[in-house]
Each structure stands twice: as structure tokens, then as C-alpha cells.
Amino acid sequence: MFSKKETRNQLDYAHDRTREAGSELCREMNNVTHQACSYVRNNPWAGVGAGAVVGIIVGMLISRK
């Protein structure tokens, strides 16, 4: 068994790693979002087409019984 201090150290380490991973994920998502916005601004009809395709797929999935 681990001592209370060892357990606390491991918990602190896991907490720090989780926080770092969350921060990295947030940065990466912001980067992807900015790239997607830039692409749609430069190619608006591609964005309209992608939205239509997603709408059709969602509509098909919702209408299934």
C-alpha cells in the first residue's frame, strides 16, 4: 500500500497532467476553429455545401424509426 504522502503526490501529479492535457486540447481546438473559419471565409460555397450535407444526414437520422 501507498502511504498517505505518496498517494497525495500521485494525485497531485495526475491533476497536473490532466490540467496540462486539457490546456493543450483547448489550444488545439482553438487552432482548428480558426483554420475552419478562415477556410469558410475564403470558400463560402464550400461551407454552404458542407452545411447542407450535414443537414441532410441529420435529417435522415432523425426521420428513422
pTM of the model: 0.56
pLDDT at residue number 2: 75
In angstroms, rounded to a whole number, what is the distance separating the alpha carbons of residues 46 and 23? Answer: 31
Q: Is the pLDDT of residue 64 over 90?
A: no
Span 50-62, pLDDT tens digits: 899 999 999 999 9
Say which residue the cell 495526475 belongs to: 14
Q: How many CA atoms lie within 13 A of 55 on its CB side?
A: 6
Q: What gap in Å lies between CA 52 and CA 45, rounded to an integer?
A: 10
Residues 15 and 10: their CA atoms lie apart, in Å, by: 9
Q: pLDDT tens-digit profile of 12-47?
A: 999 999 999 999 999 999 999 999 899 889 999 988
Q: Is the pLDDT of residue 65 over 70?
A: no
Query: Contact, 9 vs 16, CB < 8 A?
Result: no
